[in-house]
Amino acid sequence: MNAVTQTVAAEPVSGVEIFVPLAKLKKSPRNARKVPHGEAAIEALAASIQHKGLIQNLVIEPETKDDKPTGYYLVTAGEGRRLAMLLRAKRKQIKKSEPVRCRLDTTNDPSEISLDENVTRTPMHPADQFERFRELADGKGYGAEEIGARFGVSAGVVKQRLRLGAVSPKLLQVYREDGLTLDQLMAFAITEDHDRQEQVFANLHHNREPWIIRRDMTASNVPATDRRAVFVGADAYVEAGGNIIRDLFSEDRGGFFEDAGLLDMLAAEKLREVAEQVQAEGWKWTEAHIDYPHAHGMRRFYPQPIALSDEDEARLESLSTEHDELAEGYSSYDEMPEDVAAKLEAVSDEIDAISEKRSAYDTNVIAHGGAFVVLHHDGTVRIERGFVRLEDEALADPQPEPEADGEPTEPPGGENEQPEDGEDVQEIDEEDEEPGKPISDSLTRDLSAYRTLALRVALAEQPATALIALTHTLTAQLFYSYAEAGCLEVRPTVTPLGSHADGIEDTPLAARASEQHEAWAERMPRDVADLWGFIVALDDERRTALLAHCAARTVNALRLPWDRKPRSLQTADRLASALALDVAKDWTPTVDSYLGRVTKAHIVEAVSEGVSEDAARRIADMKKPDMAQAAEQLLAGTGWLPNALRTPQPEAEQSAPVEGAEAESVAEVDEGACYAVAAE
Mean pLDDT within 488-511: 78
Same domain, 479 and 534: yes
Assess whether 502 and 574 both reside in one domain: no
Q: Answer positive or negative: Cα dihedral of 15, 21, 22, 24.
A: negative
Instruction: Work out the angle at residue 172's Cα, subtended by the Cα atoms of residues 168 and 173, and round it to the nearest 5 degrees.
Output: 115
AA identity, residue 357: K
Report the CATH number that the domain containing residue 51 is assigned in CATH: 3.90.1530.10
What is the reported pLDDT for 663?
44
Q: Supply the pLDDT for residue 672.
A: 44
Q: What percent of the chain has pLDDT over 70?
A: 85
User: Do 11 and 105 share a domain, yes or no?
Assistant: yes
- Report d(CA 113, CA 111) in Å as an integer: 5
The pair phi, psi for residue 375, each rounded to 5°, is: -100, 125
Q: What is the pLDDT, as a whole number, of residue 673?
A: 46
Is residue 191 within 8 A of residue 197, CB to CB? The reply is yes
pLDDT range class, residue 282, cuts 50, 70, 90:
very high
| Whether residue 507 is found in the same domain as residue 588 | no
Contacts 24+ apart (CB under 8 A), 201-206: 201/171, 201/174, 205/623, 205/626
User: What is d(CA 18, CA 1) in angstroms, rounded to the nearest whole number?
Assistant: 11
Which residues in 315-329 are b (16+ Cβ under 10 Å) and which e? ebeebeeebeebbee
Average pLDDT over residues 617-624: 88
Determine, yes or no, domain membership for 96: yes
In a domain, 444, yes or no: no
Regarding pTM above 0.75, the answer is no
583 domain-assigned: yes
pLDDT of 458: 76
Q: Is residue 316 part of a domain?
A: yes
The SS3 assignment for 286 reads strand
Q: Are residues 526 and 473 in the same domain?
A: yes
Question: What average pLDDT does this structure show over 530-554?
Answer: 89
Q: Are residues 96 and 52 in the same domain?
A: yes
What residues make up the domain containing 537? 457-554
Query: Which of 491, 526, 554 finishes a domain?
Result: 554
Q: Are residues 602 and 531 in the same domain?
A: no
Determine, yes or no, domain membership for 573: yes
Of 96, 119, 142, the position where a domain reaches its end is 119
Same structural domain, 38 and 83: yes
Tell whether 589 and 513 lie within a shared domain.
no
pLDDT of residue 567: 79
Does residue 587 form part of some domain?
yes
Structural domains of the chain, count: 4
In a domain, 85, yes or no: yes
Per-residue pLDDT at 671 exceeds 70: no
Which helix (H) or strand (E) element contains residue 316?
helix 310-327
- Domain assignment present for residue 188? The answer is no
pLDDT tens figures, 204-252: 877 788 888 888 888 778 888 888 999 999 999 999 999 888 877 766 6
Domain closes at, from 94, 119, 144: 119
CA atoms within 13 A on the CB side of 276: 6
Q: What is the dihedral of CA 33, 38, 39, 45, to 10 degrees?
A: -60
Same domain (yes/no): 541, 581: no
Measure the CA–CA gap between 480 and 474, rounded to whole angstroms: 10
What pLDDT was estimated at residue 378?
Answer: 83
- pLDDT, mean over the chain: 80
572 & 550 share domain:
no
pLDDT of 405-458, one tens digit each?
444 444 444 444 444 444 444 444 455 555 656 777 777 777 777 677 777 777
> Angle 80-85-86 (CA atoms, 0-180°, nearest 5)?
95
User: 665 and 573 in one domain?
Assistant: yes
CA distance 381 to 378: 9
